[in-house]
Amino acid sequence: MRRVRLTACLALLVGISNVPANDSDASKFISYCEHELYGTKNYEEAGKICKRVKQDVKALVGMSPLFLRSAVNEADAKWALGNYPEAFNLYAEAVEVAIKLGDVNKVRELRIRQADAAMFRGKSFEAEILLRDAIARVQSTAGSSALQEADLLSRHAEVLVTLGQTKAAMQGYLAAFAKLDVISATDRPILLKTQLGYAELFERQSRYAGAMATYQRLLKLAQSSPVSVEYTIIAYERMGWISETLGKPQEALVFYKHQLEVSEKDPTRSDATIELRRKIQRLEG
């Protein structure tokens, strides 16, 4: 039955040239594509439908926000299937549409997706160029969001770390911090992510004193309202590991016990909690 319904819809799309060219018709076809992609999550069929929808939406409304939306849907379908090379190329096409439409926010969003696809392909160098381009576009746009710029700076710093450009990455994280408001709930997710990346950079360089101080700041942020269980656990775990590495088992034990207290309250972390108890038992003796 499902196959019949999909076939019937595709047949309707084939005859779309007889449909009046207007936004309402284009929106209906896009909605069907999005239902398959985000609703039923049948990504294989969604990919086929979204590809045809993109072609026909362009025929209906030309270069428009609706066409951009359909182009992004097709790229998202490839991403969902794990086809990152094709998703990368489709996001690149969507970026060109967004540039022509003057949609700076969409360019930023799509550059991020394109960079993520590049990273999954092991193309850190390409990802760095894409994010640098997105940063330049945001910085050159009057009235652009400081939060958006901070997010891009933080992501760019992560990529620089993978390229071994630690000094530039450090500067990138500091530039991101300068754009963020510590007490803003809106800024909080990016602030936590940036703080973690900054701490990991210290740790990566075996600069454990700096890493420990930065994880302490991360912990303080994570425990402020609203509490972030995820980042609280990460901070305790990494501080415990650093303490062990520095030959301070009793200090590590304190951090791991705090981590256990938090972890035990989350039933989805049962496997990790069991492993953590074993680690504590080992340190106790």
- CA-wise closest residue to 43 among 93, 82, 1: 82
Name the pLDDT band for 9 (thresholds 50, 70, 90).
Answer: low
Tokens found for residue 156: 């760019």
Contact between 130 and 117 (Cβ < 8 Å): no
Q: Name the DSSP class of 181.
A: -
The whole-angstrom separation of Cα 116 and Cα 123 is 9
- CA-wise closest residue to 36 among 2, 86, 1: 2
Between helices 23-34 and 43-61, what is the axis angle to 10°? 170
| Mean of pLDDT values over 109-125 | 94
Q: Is residue 239 pLDDT above 90, yes or no? A: yes
Percent of the chain with pLDDT over 90: 72
Summarised one tens digit per residue, pLDDT across range 170-206 is 999 999 999 998 778 889 999 999 999 999 999 999 9
Contact between 280 and 260 (Cβ < 8 Å): yes
Q: Is residue 266 pLDDT above 50, yes or no? A: yes
**What's the pLDDT score for residue 105?**
87
**What's the pLDDT score for residue 143?**
79
**What's the pLDDT score for residue 15?**
47
Percent of the chain with pLDDT over 70: 93
Q: Is residue 125 pLDDT above 60, yes or no? A: yes
**What's the pLDDT score for residue 196?**
97
Summarised one tens digit per residue, pLDDT across range 14-61 is 444 444 457 888 888 899 899 989 888 889 998 999 999 999 899 888
How far, CA to CA in Å, does 80 sit from each of 76, 84, 86?
A: 6, 9, 11
**What's the pLDDT score for residue 226?**
80
